[in-house]
Amino acid sequence: MKRMALVIVLTGAVARLTAQAPVVPGAEWARVGDPKSAGYCQAPLDAVTSHLQTLGTTAVTVVVGGKVLFDYGPQDEVTYLASVRKSILAMMFGQYIANGTIRLDATMADLGIDDVQGLLPKEKTATVRQLLASRSGVYHEAANAACTGCGSTSGDPPGPRGSVEPGSYFLYNNWDFNALGTIFEKATGKDIYVAFEEDFAKPLQFQDYRLDAQRKARRPQASQHPAYHFYLSTRDMARLGLLMLRNGRWGSTRLLSEEWVEEMITPVTPVSAMNPAPLRDGPFGYGYLWWIWDGPHNTGIYRDAYTGIGAIGQFITVLPELDMVIAHKTRANATAVSRAQYLDVVDRVARARCQ
């Protein structure tokens, strides 16, 4: 991936390469004054606006080179983030794995993680690493559905509980994701939203984060592990994407190790092994709670690209080839924007580059 821009500085007859400090926002986002200076043309960007007006999109923030190139809708509106919460949690694990507070190979038995009516002995051998990759093999009912119109998993498990060896099979599984929230809080001794404020919202200078706006979804008769939904603004979502694009560094401060960023966005499950089978048509494989353009889809503007995905049209997308972050939101209980519709928006933004 491209980690920083290089500029040529000429002194007399001698040329040398020097590293240009990557741009990150301060208290307010800086804006690209003239889109052409960033390689984009206004007319096709205006066409993107017109297209968004035909969709259920609430707001979009497009960042290039650390500055806002394009935005649409209310940038400060705080709304439900759906399953992008999972990609955020992967980021939150980083420093606690680095300092030894959480071990990737710790099992559910090691951590004292159980659930309503108990986990099976085989399920208790699942590790934190396997939960992060949604390969635990624990098919216990979750506190919330994994997707609209489905149960705790997106697609059917390959067999009854206890029949799948942990680590052997990918299935998008809300039990894994919710249990990771419990593991985080138990290991760190911190409420997940307080930890997020301390570790990310404050150092990234979020403009709209409110601790009192965050809330979990609980169904204790089904599972002990609540879903930890986040409520963020689009422009603050873009700061998270830019931190990932900047490889965990925010100006002079390192918030995530380079190694952890790489581990999160390296496919554990390639697109060819995704389940259910229709996901193998692409474009995504799966890393640690991030969806990654993989195989034949990992090319062009999507080389080394990855995204967080939430129901009804919530996305944080990182496109290193374009030095770009796109944050996209819809409102809960409003018109959804499908994955295909959103990817078309991404293509339209990319095609706004001047020829």
pLDDT, tens only, 49-68 = 999 999 999 999 999 999 99
CA gap 72, 61 in Å, rounded: 7
Closest to 223 measured CA to CA, from 146, 317, 142: 142
Measure the CA–CA gap between 291 and 305, rounded to whole angstroms: 9
Q: What is the mean pLDDT of residues 125-129?
A: 98
pLDDT at 21: 73
- SS3 at position 107: strand
DSSP string, 164-209: S-TTS----BHHHHHHHHHHHHHHH-S-HHHHHIIIIITTTT-SS-
Q: How far is it, in rounded angstroms, from Cα 131 to Cα 147?
A: 18
- What rounded mean pLDDT belongs to the chain? 93
Beta strands in 48-116 (DSSP E): 59-64, 67-72, 79-80
- Residue 14: pLDDT band by 50, 70, 90 thresholds? very low
Structural domains in the chain, sorted by start: 52-350 (3.40.710.10)
Condensed to tens digits (0 to 9), the pLDDT of residues 253-294 reads 999 999 999 999 999 999 999 999 999 999 999 999 999 999
Pairwise CA distance, residues 103 & 96, whole Å: 9
* 100 Cβ contact partners less than 8 Å away, ≥ 6 residues apart: none
The per-residue pLDDT for 20 is: 63
Q: What percent of the chain has pLDDT over 70?
A: 94
